[in-house]
Amino acid sequence: MDPDDRDDEIDDIDDEAGHRNTEVTIEVTGLSLFTHHGVTAAEREVGQRLVLDLRLEVGECDATVTDLVEDTVDYAEVCNVVALVAQQRSYKTLERLCTAVADRLLERFDAEEVWVKAAKPEPPIPLPVEQVSVEVWRQSGDAEEG
């Protein structure tokens, strides 16, 4: 065995018992919701479709061994939580919406990090644009109080 290969193998071992460290990422892509967010009163009143992409870094996850849904983050529940946050009130900026979603995901699920992207496929601007989007990344412990 090549010594460099052995170093790579050793780096994959996480604890003294020789168990491998498996980091898990949960992703949801293209969650489409009708919402009432925007700078103008018309955007907030009429509403529009937003498309959200989400990534939750959950670290080690028992489901990699147990194969049980209750041992991981249920992505259907993630979608329900995001829909509730995105539809329960109106924000002027996508930055604030993404932060509210990220904070709720960190609060509700045992994630180490959360990434949220919100895109407006038909932005209300006078030039031809396919979409506009904002991304927010938060770590556990970053969530705002209150």
Question: What confidence tens digit (pLDDT) does each residue in 92-135 have?
Answer: 999 999 999 999 999 999 899 999 999 999 888 899 999 999 99
Question: CB-based burial of residue 7 (10 Å sphere; 0-12 exposed, 13-18 middle, 19+ buried)?
Answer: exposed
Q: CA end-to-end span of the chain, whole Å? A: 56
pLDDT of the residue at 106: 96
Indicate the pLDDT class of residue 42, thresholds 50, 70 and 90. Answer: confident
The residue ranges of DSSP E strands in the chain, in sequence order, are 23-35, 48-60, 113-120, 132-139
Mean pLDDT, to the nearest integer, of 22-29?
A: 93
- For residue 123, the tally of other CB atoms under 10 A from its CB is 16
Residues 6+ apart with CB under 8 A from 27: 53, 54, 55, 56
Q: Compare 30 and 19 and report the one with higher pLDDT.
A: 30
pLDDT of the residue at 94: 95
Angle between helix 75-88 and 94-108 (nearest 10) = 140
Percent of the chain whose pLDDT exceeds 90: 57
Choice among 8-17, 23-32, 42-51, 62-71 with the minimum mean pLDDT: 8-17
Percent of the chain whose pLDDT exceeds 70: 83
Question: Using alpha carbons only, how large is the chain's radius of gyration in Å?
Answer: 19
The answer to whether residue 16 scores a pLDDT higher than 60 is no
Whole-structure pTM value = 0.80
As a whole number of angstroms, the distance between CA 81 and CA 101 comes to: 8
Choice among 7-16, 19-28, 33-42, 84-93 with the minimum mean pLDDT: 7-16
Indicate the pLDDT class of residue 83, thresholds 50, 70 and 90. Answer: very high
| Residue 145 structure tokens | 């109080």
As a whole number of angstroms, the distance between CA 41 and CA 44 comes to: 5
